[in-house]
Structure 1
């Protein structure tokens, strides 16, 4: 994801703070570089031994993933690996663009990094690159250095935003002064107008000084070739770690580097697949993420694009996730009803039910109506039936709810807000969200939840109805 900022904001920064990248530093490209570095640090952390073990033992074996996506661990690992490669490709693109600016600096590795990276992915140059540029040596220190660069540049970005807001306030103040007409010099109105104006000017001076100081300590002032080299080596180190973690189940990855130097990233101790899966089983159930005729320019995203039969393939993942979370909220509000604890706000509950119904897609709404008609034909919902319905809803939401929460988190983590743009924590894997969930199975689970909630609401309405209504 390339860093995108408003054109007017960028133009203003260039005019006030010194243009684009130059021989002295990255300039405005510092923010794009910091976003790519944060992605690399995030990938590095997500590929630690602990995170890969958690992926295999918890994420891929979660009940929701097993029920809606797949129980084939090799298939799920390929999906997880494919998403990592997509993120790595984006960071590599940024490194290649920065490297292209270094063609005259005597660094052929940086000048031609896009081709070097493509060859390394195909397994024909990773070991040779390590021998030539030594990306596996000192990898841990490089990631620590990138963490510091990202933190400093994120701080600069925040202070630049604050500066932009102050300058906008100054322009509004000047416009107000112009339209208010001449004010007598000795009047109290003149003094009242001057006080906030002077205060704003002092704040602007201090803020501009702060921005200049932060520029000197951030990526803004670091030489392009230094950052291109740092990022290029880190990209290759992450690729080497991907090969170690997923090489047994994902065909097409480069072979591990002899000697194991590439794994000295601070947390790794060797391949994690050997103790949990027999090598012949891994090969038997494996399939390449990239087809034989794929070229280096083919986007990796094609290999993890959800089919049309999935929730993500139909573009409904966010809508379904919001329906599930609304059902969780309504369940919480309904719990006291079956336990005979009438402590709820009835109007609030009715509003929640109405909002939930309005957000239902047509297919789910039809399914709920048909299922309710069949289930409630010729029978009343008593307390025992309502309690059983609530228990059933809770059982489903125990495994369906986490997938909905992870779906929203996945989207939030890829948003353009500053706190996400420069976030360096491991991200939620797409495989644990609703993206790859079978659409029919997901809709069936949602219908089951909504039918159960409807039964509880029906009983609650009957219980709270005044006795004289039945006369």
Structure 2
């Protein structure tokens, strides 16, 4: 159904008159989603999160083994992704600003040009004109409130749609089968309320609830007001990114360190201070050229090379393999009682089959080749070797599984499903996932996990077989 028709139908159902000419209307949800993106970015580049990124995320063992130990390179990846995300938010603001009337400020009518100028280094001049750093904390809190109400309105409208679908089904039933019989009470002394009346009562209550939530939501907020709120917030996030990364990523627009207070990032420990650039970073190549940094900033989404897991678009599949291997290893622990033993074995077999089926062809071939070498040696897997294999697998998964979890989380956040549409939490970054991981190194690590897991499974199967024989002997002796 076209948006205009759907909106007119919604107004008639809710008995709401035409909205003001400058109200957002159905665009409230798009605006709320963009506000949630800005709040999420704002939180991602907070003092606490940036310190965690530099101290923990980029120094994680998995990132060091599979991606790089070059902190300068990793910071460029992180900064590039944040700027690409901000570019998308700025594009949405520019589209909304273009809808505003001609009398509005150039900040809204021509925001794409304003944003490009900001990335070329005119942040300070824009702040003097627009004042985006003043009241930044208040604006982000206001957007948080708008997002929360929009999420509630979205849920209430979903509930209303379900009730209306039930009403339509009931009407169809009446047309074909006549009135629905009223439900009798447990005592048989009378009938309960007619199902149709009960449904209509719920419908009236739900429509009233939707109207109440709608009145205090972005639905009735002027488009120019929402656009101005987001436009200033985009510039504030850009300033914060510059403050956090400029010491390591040349080409970012300059921003005064002391203005971190104005952007609401004191977090109890003061603003981030731009320390002297380490010698290892002073001679590193900039991610953005000084010749035309603005055009490069707008194309700052970092694309993994073909030699990486992300470059082959296999990051999610690899992550699922790693997490499935972790689950299988946990399931191979000895069961608590005899009654669970057979059931546990069945679970293991199904999980092994599922894991083998999800393996990419290259990993499957490499694993089979290694297994053939082991079979040629014909060395039995005893308790000691099984324990050593299990320890080796656990050691590998200790640094592989965090990257796999972050990969799944990153993909979930990018998918923008309903659960994530209005999420305002700091987001996972590609640099902490398998996207930039070297594919050959990742393949080798996964094959080692699978080989060790196979050895543990062999020993586990043999133990189960021997225990089964012992039980059969005991049963025969008792007979």
**Is TM-score (shorter-chain normalized) higher than 0.5?**
yes
For 1:22 and 1:81, the matched residues in 2 are separated by 40
Show the 5 A alignment for 1:174-323: 174-181=171-178, 195-257=194-256, 260=259, 263-267=262-266, 269-272=270-273, 274=275, 277-278=277-278, 280-289=279-288, 292=291, 296=295, 300=299, 303-323=301-321
For 1:106 and 1:299, the matched residues in 2 are separated by 25
Give the match for residue 3 of structure 1.
none
Give the match for residue 371 of structure 1.
370
Kindly indicate whether the alpha-carbon contact (under 8 Å) linking 1:30 and 1:219 is maintained by their aligned counterparts in 2: yes
Structure 1 residue 274: deviation in Å?
1.5
Q: 1:117-171 CA distances to partner (integer Å, 9 max, x unpaired)?
A: 0111122x21111000100011011101110111011111111111111111111
Q: 1:411-440 CA distances to partner (integer Å, 9 max, x unpaired)?
A: 112223222110111011111011111111
Kindly indicate whether the alpha-carbon contact (under 8 Å) linking 1:387 and 1:456 is maintained by their aligned counterparts in 2: yes
Structure 1 residue 27: deviation in Å?
0.4
Kindly indicate whether the alpha-carbon contact (under 8 Å) linking 2:257 and 2:272 is maintained by their aligned counterparts in 1: no
For 1:217 and 1:264, the matched residues in 2 are separated by 27
Structure 1 residue 329: deviation in Å?
0.5
Using the TM superposition, name which of 23-32 and 431-440 deviates more: 23-32
In the alignment of these two chains, the number of paired residues is 455
Using the TM superposition, name which of 175-184 and 89-98 deviates more: 175-184
- For normalisation by structure 2, the TM-score amounts to 0.88
Kindly indicate whether the alpha-carbon contact (under 8 Å) linking 1:126 and 1:257 is maintained by their aligned counterparts in 2: no
Give the match for residue 163 of structure 1.
160
For 2:447 and 2:40, the matched residues in 1 are separated by 37
For 1:283 and 1:21, the matched residues in 2 are separated by 56
- For normalisation by structure 1, the TM-score amounts to 0.89
SS at match of 1:304: coil
Show the 5 A alignment for 1:99-110: 99-110=97-108
Unaligned regions of 5+ residues in structure 2, if any?
A: 470-479
Structure 1 residue 466: deviation in Å?
4.1
Structure 1 residue 108: deviation in Å?
1.6
Kindly indicate whether the alpha-carbon contact (under 8 Å) linking 1:249 and 1:286 is maintained by their aligned counterparts in 2: no
For 1:458 and 1:230, the matched residues in 2 are separated by 62
Q: Could you tell me which of 17, 35, 38 is aligned with 2:36?
A: 38
Give the match for residue 4 of structure 1.
none
Structure 1 residue 257: deviation in Å?
3.8
Distance 1:12 1:165, change over 3 A: farther
Show the 5 A alignment for 1:444-459: 444-459=444-459
Give the match for residue 443 of structure 1.
443
Give the match for residue 147 of structure 2.
150
RMSD of aligned Cα (Å): 2.9
Using the TM superposition, name which of 13-22 and 419-428 deviates more: 13-22
Using the TM superposition, name which of 173-182 and 232-241 deviates more: 173-182
Distance 1:85 1:266, change over 3 A: same
Does 2:328 match 1:330?
A: yes
Structure 1 residue 179: deviation in Å?
1.0
Structure 1 residue 289: deviation in Å?
3.9
For 1:20 and 1:360, the matched residues in 2 are separated by 56
Distance 1:263 1:429, change over 3 A: farther
Q: Could you tell me which of 4, 7, 15 is aligned with 2:9?
A: 15
Distance 1:170 1:289, change over 3 A: farther
Structure 1 residue 409: deviation in Å?
0.7
For 1:176 and 1:401, the matched residues in 2 are separated by 53
